Chains A and B, each alone.
Chain A
Amino acid sequence: MRFLSRWISPVAYFLQIVIIGIVVVSLISCLAGLSPLKVMSAYWFSAFMNLNNLAITLNKSALILFAALAAAIPLRGGLFNAGGEGQIYLGGLSAALVGFYLKELPTPLPLIFAVAAGIGMGAAWGCIAGIIKVKRKVHEVVTTIILNYVALYLVDFLVRGPFCAGYEMARTARISESASLPALTIAGGSAILSPGILLAVGLCVLYGWYMKNKPQGYEVRIIGQSRDAATYAGIDYKYYYVRLMVVGGMLAGLGGAVDLTGVHRTFYAGSFSGYGYDGLAAALISKCHPVGLVIASVFIASLRSADRYFQLCTDISPNITLIIEAALVFLVSGKYIVRKLEIGKKSTNERN
């Protein structure tokens, strides 16, 4: 029975989300004077129904899943990492630059260095927020959001200025073949399928396993529930705060690097916009459940694909996908926010 309920409750949970989603879509479509069925079938086609679209959706899913992990892991320890956005920019740009300038090295090395650079930049960016949190008690939401803007404008300046290599669009120089992730080209289509999704799902499985089976994962969960209990159990939560922010940054940076080396292979100004926040939304909708993270990321990616298709091929306003995503986050994560507040209330009698 217990085994069954462990599996039924997440499934039931996602069924609820799907139903909420359908209701929201219908309501908004009706308000906009469109047929809900037309909107939903357009969505389905544009996100999944042809190999080309499917590949685009999966590539986007990978990036969102990395960002979702970057938010989810700190969240398990009670930290709200809103900095995925900036970490992705920096990860992507570092990979682009390293991949271009180190092209002379023997084959796997440029790729390895490019990805490592992405991870390193993300980690450094997360580390700043973690250290400020521990040393100066500044809330991580404030620092990560500010750091996002620093990253956004810094990256924009670099791509449009010193490292600009494109003429028709602001972008960096294309990375060499030796720095690219091998990807599958879709027959007869223009899209390529990056192996990023496999890597992201693999990390997601590892995350689920780690949280349950490793003492360190257990310690993170204790910190997320009660800092008081963590202190009692002999856990140095300040050290974990920095580590969690670093791990979050690494994952987001890795996401940017993998997407860059696997899909576009050059950094277009503005191309990573919004993925960090999409990942945060995925983490909130799925309440950090590993299977849920994958489903939520694919779902949000599919909305993004639909967005593009609506814009190009239909008279449906692409904003409808944003409304759906926002409505879902509000409706679904509301419960989560309520619980988080309750935990916060309890911890007012913490001693530290």
Chain B
Amino acid sequence: MTQVAITMTSIHKSFDDVVANDGVSIEIKEGEVCAIVGENGAGKTTLMNMLSGSVQPDLGSIKIYGKFCRLKSRADAIKAGIGTVHQHFKLVSSFTVLDNVILGHKLRERGFISYQTATEKVRELIDRFSFQLLFDEPVGSLSASQKQQVEILRFVYHETPILIFDETTSILTPIEKERFFQGIELFRKEGRTVVLISHKISEISELLGIADKMYVMRKGKVVAEYEKADFDLEKISRAVVGDEEIAVYDVPRSIADSRGAPPLRVHMSLKKGQGRVAFSISPGEVFGITGVPGNGEREIVDALFGIKNAYNGRITWKGTDLKGLTTEQIRRLGIAYLPEDRENRASISLFTLAENRILGYHKTDAFTRKKRFDFSKIYEDTRRLLDKYHIVAPDELSKAENLSGGDLQKFLLARELEGSPELLILEQPTRGLDIRAAEEFYEILQRSKEKGLAVILISYDLDEILRISNRIAVLYDYSIIYEVEAEKATGRSIGLYMTRGRF
């Protein structure tokens, strides 16, 4: 008879006014692969955080292998047999793979760590999972998927019977993802219990292939529960988004205006002449740039937006060489940028919306009079923006941190578009947004594209890249190694180039 590994009964949890979990009950048997799907903000991560000990339930009980548990810390969770691989890795980057794996383990001889025994064991594990890792490499130099492997090794080494993966696939390329699912199969054979969390609708079909059981969460509740026998993609997808129809915005591929010379021409080499980045963009076009994070996308943005001038070559915008210009001057030439880090770079969470409205535009005549801020104009304009873009916010004096992720992102997009730029650089624009907010974002963007806005879209989300770009470029080691028309591109081919066929 199979034992029940995890039982969570009527879990309630709220943060201030927000109810994250409202009477959630789940049951996962030993040796089972269970998937929990739902949109951002459905409460999946909160639920899993209770299993990893970082959040305690307000009400309800947790049983691990039939024993009631109160998990008050990560250490408690590991003791109870639960290992969680988070979206953000919890590794010591200056330590080697080996040191990270044995961290916290009590395999000691006379009070000393026995490196010999540990090395042998870790080597054997790396072989068993056919991970491409060297045990003495420092973790800081590894790629994201390799870091994930280190996290996995850690729990395997500690013989943790239950493994939770919180949105781990979101950073993997298609091939890495296949490898990851193979690893899950291995866990199943070993009799470990696996929980997979995902918010991507597009991933459900892949999860159906591997899971034995699936829970769908929406607005803090489990809304559906399926066993292997009655898996049905369409039913499950509908359960994820809910009954109300959400218009999946049909993003028409914008038509690039290729009459005349393209306004932006980039021809540069990053990283001391090794990398080669060359592309040009026409009005109305979306140029998608993707790749494994850390392959030069940040350096391209830094060069384009005048943040760093550490490149050779030329960037010309409508005939003007951008080299040596400051960010302020570049912004005045009609180039706008919406960074990935919304709370700390694109806005300041402790500032009011009005103060964030003028970030980057605070010296323009629209907001100043006699070199002083004209607050009535600033407040009025902020209110107008909130109105025009249907942003849910109490008023212009509420702090940015009080907005939902989707509303904040809409607000920031609105701010950039109000400067009527001709080129907009977007970095991971819909990361962490729920489907509804993402669709609204695309819709607002579309209106500007029709008016001739050119867009550089930097994203690691292949679905997004494939859906809204006209052309797609893949970055590898500071070079564009592949460029393709979006119609001819497939996720697989792009994924291959992202890792250059290497895992």
Contact = CB atoms under 8 A, between A and B. Distances in A.
Nearest to B350: A225
Contacts of A352: 307
Interface string B336-364: 01010100111110110001001110110
Given A232-B337, A234-B328, A226 B344 contact: yes
A214 interface: yes
A346 B397 CA distance: 24
8 contacts: A215-B363, A226-B345, A226-B348, A229-B344, A229-B347, A232-B360, A234-B328, A352-B307
Contacts of B346: 229, 232
Nearest to B330: A234
Contacts of B141: none
Contacts of A347: 344
Contacts of B373: 212-215, 218
Contacts of B344: 226, 228-229, 346-347, 349
Contact of A228 (B306, B345, B350): B345
Q: Is the interface of A mostly helix, strand, loop or mixed?
A: helix
Contacts of A2: 397
Given A222-B348, A225-B348, A232-B346, A214 B341 contact: no
Interface of B: 298, 302, 306-307, 326-328, 331, 337, 339, 341, 344-348, 350-351, 355, 358-360, 362-363, 368, 371-373, 397
A229 B348 contact: yes
A218 B360 CA distance: 11
A239 to B, nearest CB: 11
A185 interface: no
Nearest to B374: A213
Given A214-B373, A215-B371, A346-B344, A229 B359 contact: yes
Nearest to A232: B345
Given A233-B360, A346-B344, A214 B339 contact: no
Contacts of B347: 229
B345 A229 contact: yes
Contacts of B371: 214-215
A231 interface: yes
Would you list the 4 A-B pairs with minimal beta carbon distance, nearest first?
Answer: A234-B327, A234-B328, A228-B345, A233-B360
Nearest to A216: B371
Q: Which among A218, A219, A347 has the greatest number of chain B C-beta atoms within 10 A? A: A218
A347 B359 CA distance: 18
A79 to B, nearest CB: 17
A214 B372 contact: yes
Nearest to A6: B397
Interface in A314-352: 346-347, 349, 351-352
A228 B397 CA distance: 23
Nearest to A219: B362
Given A225-B351, A232-B359, 12 more contacts: A2-B397, A212-B373, A214-B372, A214-B373, A215-B371, A218-B358, A218-B362, A222-B348, A226-B344, A233-B360, A234-B326, A351-B302
Contacts of B355: 218
Interface in A265-284: none
Contacts of B350: 225
A280 B368 CA distance: 33
A254 B350 CA distance: 33
A176 B373 CA distance: 44
A342 to B, nearest CB: 11
A228 B362 contact: no
B368 A349 contact: no
B339 A232 contact: yes
B327 A213 contact: no
A349 B352 CA distance: 23
A225 B400 CA distance: 13
Contacts of B337: 232
Contacts of A222: 348, 359
Interface string A200-226: 000000000000111100110110011
Given A213-B373, A215-B373, A218-B355, A231 B362 contact: no
Nearest to B395: A2
Nearest to B345: A228
Given A233-B359, A234-B327, A349 B348 contact: no
Contacts of A233: 327, 359-360, 362
Contacts of A226: 344-345, 348
A228 to B, nearest CB: 4
A15 to B, nearest CB: 24
Nearest to B329: A234
Interface in A41-70: none
Contacts of B348: 222, 225-226, 229
A233 to B, nearest CB: 4
A76 to B, nearest CB: 13
Contact of B341 (A213, A225, A228, A236): A228
Contacts of B307: 231-232, 351-352
A13 to B, nearest CB: 17
Contacts of A215: 362-363, 368, 371, 373
Contacts of A221: 351
Contacts of A225: 348, 350-351
Contacts of A236: 326
A351 B298 CA distance: 9
Contacts of B327: 231-234
Interface string A175-219: 000000000000000000000000000000000000011110011
A215 B360 CA distance: 11
A352 B298 CA distance: 12
Interface string A221-257: 1100110110111101000000000000000000000
A234 B360 contact: yes
B10 to A, nearest CB: 34
Contacts of A234: 306, 326-328, 331, 360
A2 B354 CA distance: 15
Nearest to B331: A234
A221 B351 CA distance: 9
A349 B294 CA distance: 13
A213 B372 CA distance: 6
Q: Which among B337, B368, B372 has the greatest number of chain A C-beta atoms within 10 A? A: B372
A331 B363 CA distance: 39
Contacts of A349: 341, 344
Nearest to A233: B360
Contacts of B397: 2
Nearest to A214: B372
A214 B371 CA distance: 7
Nearest to B398: A2
Nearest to B339: A232
Q: Which among A225, A233, A234, A347 has the greatest number of chain B C-beta atoms within 10 A? A: A234
A215 B361 CA distance: 10
A64 B403 CA distance: 40
A74 B328 CA distance: 23
Contacts of A228: 341, 344-345
